[in-house]
Structure 1
Amino acid sequence: MLFPLVVNIIMALIAYLVTLRVIPKLKEKFIKANLFGIDMSKTTSDKVPESLGVVSGFIFLVTMVLFIPVAFGNNLLEKGTFPYDEYVKYILALLSICCMLLLGFADDVLDVPWRQKLLLPTIASLPLLMVYYVSFNTTNIIVPKPLQDYLGLSIDIGLIYYVYMGMLAVFCTNAINILAGVNGLEAGQSVVIAISIALFNLVELSGPLWKAHQFSLYFMLPYIGTSLALLKHNWYPASVFVGDTFCYFSGMTFAVVGILGHFSKTTLLFFMPQVFNFLYSSPQLFKLVPCPRHRLPKFNSRENCMELSTTTFRYSELNVLGKLVLGVFRLFKLVHWQEKQGVVVTNNFTLINLTLLYCGPMHEAKLTSILLAIQVLSTGLAFLIRYPFASVFYDVQ
């Protein structure tokens, strides 16, 4: 078990160094291919190459392919048998990630409409669900202790479990994409999530499911290496943008290890800021409240800081559900509210704007640092829920 992990760590370090050096060499090529954007939070109008997440994703896939002889050849040498089941799981996991990388890059190039974006991870998750069906097909969920006298120790929910796993893949890929808009945030939150999963895997290596967690580490360590290199170039002031490609690729990687590693519910715990951001954004995403095309925080060029971005609408034109949601948000002080003659001005409903609402205008780098600190604190809370708190309701090993 130790030898493949050591090699994986070495390969992750090499992947980090390669990604770090390759990205600057490809920036001009992306600009020439019209894959660039203008940073709306800067006073300059320089072209910033877009979709560089495809580079880190490609190097990650190459690293994982080169690791195959180590991951499975070692088993062949020690036991004289080839683990075909594990090999198929590994290859199909890479297939799902590769499909998502390709579809994400197509989205960056073709600018796929928002509603159709939900179909992309659904398609890419099919190989993942197929290998789960062939290899495990376990659809039982453990019943909490207080309900075991009535429902038994577990319940087989059948097809619903596959629907849940498919929805997990859709959520992971889009949740990172929704919580974005300032330099370093997409790559930064993904690195924190990946490190959180890797730490969880290391803790669980001594448990009965150590093989599943070893499998997860094989993916997480090279991912952390390539993503850290991308983060270095994407940190303020960003010299590259990661694009939707990186968000989709990252989300599918997390879904793959969560599902095939048998810790999909724990994976969601590491997404607590993204879950909150999705729920908070839902009124605008589902058009209960007017949603502008861009919900990025507003850049104050004179003060060189980020401020609340707002949306304007007539309160009387909202439906009952929209008014109800706004009432709840106002009750819990989750919105900035200005109303004059029936016209309402509120902040856009994102965690980024909510942070600015509570903390006030601030420099972009500081804003990113606070958001990543929230991600780190959420990881601590996730471990607290997963271990001490979970033992109250479940028999945790």
Structure 2
Amino acid sequence: MSLCGFLVVLRLVPVAARYLLRRGMWGKDINKRGLPMGEIRVPEALGIVVGIVYLVIAILFQHFNFTADSMWLVEYNAALASVCFMILLGFIDDVLDVPWRVKLLLPTIAALPLLMAYAGGTAISIPKPLTSYFGVAVLELGSLYKLFMLLLAVFCTNSINIHAGLNGLEVGQTVIISAAVLIHNVMRIGSSMDIESQQAHAFSIYLVLPFLTTSLALFAFNWYPSSVFVGDTYTYFAGMALAVVGILGHFSETLLLFFLPEVLNFLCSVPQLFKFVPCPRHRLPRFDPHTGLLTGTKDGNLVNIFLRIFGRCTERTLCIRLLIFQALSCLFCFWLRYMITGWYK
């Protein structure tokens, strides 16, 4: 079914792109300003196609995997409801272009179905080096755990949204993260003897596999030079999908490690995001149409930081460097988990 989703997205994206162009939902590539490519009208918000196809696949999958009395069915549908809600709100953002502070509220609203339906554990295992300080090996958080779930959903959606601005970067980073999540789930199923843990990771695979395949199809259109823009619809959808995968798969700590570049980008962006220093609408590098190279600005995001550290380069080269950094971060996560297994928890 995931393969079918890949093929359907490949077929539907060009069709949806034509409709969006007719409705005036298009933009021009700022990083190509001054070139003929910079004058092309590129359809926006094509993340709506991926989101709809993903939901259809995930809903149909229930028929083959869950029974009416399945203990996972309520949480599965709640996860899909949150993802659906996020797609809707993301598309509204693409249409209305809501202010940044309102964007922070959108994932909060979308996460409500998951928070209300969540019936899993709300306790966390204390790292072994810290058990002597807490006096217990397992700490019950209660409502604080649901608050953590909410904050994780808000972070995942917005962190992808602000680590953007290059052709292929938004989709590329989520493809790498979702591939890492898939590998992690398979490894945990193979190594764990706990049936409940195996079921949780299998549940995570059910949600992440169609997300990976449909995103790969979109990546074919969004890679440099982009023929479509994914819009906030995709970044919000991707963030929420990955958040519910990590929450319901019970590996939120590992998920945050997979998000290491996004965490760094957020930390570097804090002064501008919270208006401690001026923040332009688009924190993009400067493009030189004569050389085709990008030059980093003083903005505090990884896109510009990489340019300041490694020097001027083309948009394609910069995106490849950032995606390699994303992949290396995921590999670091796997290595770190291997090194601390048995000592940390």
How high is the TM-score relative to the length of structure 1? 0.83
Q: Among 239, 243, 248, which residue is 1:260 paired with?
A: 248
Equivalence for 2:148: 164
Equivalence for 1:364: 315
Q: Among 34, 44, 55, which residue is 1:50 paired with?
A: 44
- What is the 5 A alignment of 1:214-225? 214-225=202-213
Equivalence for 1:145: 128
Of structures 1 and 2, the larger Rg is shown by 1
- What is the 5 A alignment of 1:29-108? 29-42=19-32, 43-44=35-36, 45-72=39-66, 82-108=68-94
Equivalence for 2:139: 155
**Distance in 2 between residues matched to 1:236 and 1:49, nearest whole Å:** 15
Superposed displacement of residue 131, structure 1: 1.8
Superposed displacement of residue 149, structure 1: 2.7
**Distance in 1 between residues matched to 2:230 and 2:306, nearest whole Å:** 23
The reply to whether residue 272 of structure 1 matches residue 291 of structure 2 is no
Superposed displacement of residue 389, structure 1: 2.1
- Deviation sequence 1:134-158 (CA, Å, 0-9, x none): x22x222222222323422122222
Q: Among 200, 210, 215, which residue is 1:227 paired with?
A: 215
Q: Provide the secondary structure at the position in 1 that maps to 2:342.
A: helix
Q: Among 306, 327, 332, which residue is 1:355 paired with?
A: 306
Equivalence for 1:109: 95
Superposed displacement of residue 100, structure 1: 0.2
Equivalence for 1:246: 234
Superposed displacement of residue 84, structure 1: 3.2
Superposed displacement of residue 121, structure 1: 0.5
Which structure is higher in RCO with an 8 Å CA cutoff and minimum separation 6? 2
Superposed displacement of residue 101, structure 1: 0.3
The reply to whether residue 386 of structure 1 matches residue 325 of structure 2 is no
Root-mean-square deviation (CA, aligned residues, Å) is: 1.1
Q: Among 121, 130, 134, which residue is 2:116 paired with?
A: 130
Q: Provide the secondary structure at the position in 2 that maps to 1:299.
A: strand
Equivalence for 2:269: 281
**Distance in 2 between residues matched to 1:267 and 1:129, nearest whole Å:** 18
**Distance in 2 between residues matched to 1:159 and 1:92, nearest whole Å:** 18
Superposed displacement of residue 160, structure 1: 1.8
Q: Which amino acid aligns with 2:150?
A: G
Q: 1:350 to 1:150 in 2, by over 3 A?
A: closer
Regions of 4+ moved over 3 Å? none
Q: Which amino acid aligns with 1:357?
A: R
**Distance in 1 between residues matched to 2:19 and 2:186, nearest whole Å:** 40
Q: Which amino acid aligns with 2:208?
A: M
- Where in structure 2 are there 5+ consecutive unaligned residues? none
**Distance in 1 between residues matched to 2:337 and 2:69, nearest whole Å:** 31
**Distance in 2 between residues matched to 1:84 and 1:14, nearest whole Å:** 26
**Distance in 1 between residues matched to 2:64 and 2:231, nearest whole Å:** 32
Q: More deviation in 229-238 or 159-168?
A: 159-168
- Deviation sequence 1:189-211 (CA, Å, 0-9, x none): 01001001000000011322111
Q: Which amino acid aligns with 2:333?
A: A
Superposed displacement of residue 386, structure 1: 2.0
Q: 1:150 to 1:350 in 2, by over 3 A?
A: closer
Q: Provide the secondary structure at the position in 2 that maps to 1:221.
A: helix
- What is the 5 A alignment of 1:172-187? 172-187=156-171
**Distance in 2 between residues matched to 1:14 and 1:348, nearest whole Å:** 41
Q: Which amino acid aligns with 2:63?
A: P
**Distance in 1 between residues matched to 2:225 and 2:98, nearest whole Å:** 27
Q: Provide the secondary structure at the position in 1 that maps to 2:164.
A: coil
Q: Which amino acid aligns with 2:70?
A: Y
Number of matched pairs = 336
- Where in structure 1 are there 5+ consecutive unaligned residues? 1-10, 77-81, 310-346
**Distance in 1 between residues matched to 2:25 and 2:210, nearest whole Å:** 26
Q: Which amino acid aligns with 1:105?
A: F
Q: Which amino acid aligns with 1:20?
A: L
**Distance in 1 between residues matched to 2:272 and 2:246, nearest whole Å:** 29
**Distance in 2 between residues matched to 1:238 and 1:150, nearest whole Å:** 53
Superposed displacement of residue 178, structure 1: 0.4
Superposed displacement of residue 85, structure 1: 2.3
Superposed displacement of residue 393, structure 1: 2.0
Q: Provide the secondary structure at the position in 2 that maps to 1:349.
A: coil
Q: More deviation in 180-189 or 17-26?
A: 17-26
**Distance in 2 between residues matched to 1:34 and 1:97, nearest whole Å:** 26
Superposed displacement of residue 390, structure 1: 4.2
Q: Which amino acid aligns with 2:108?
A: T
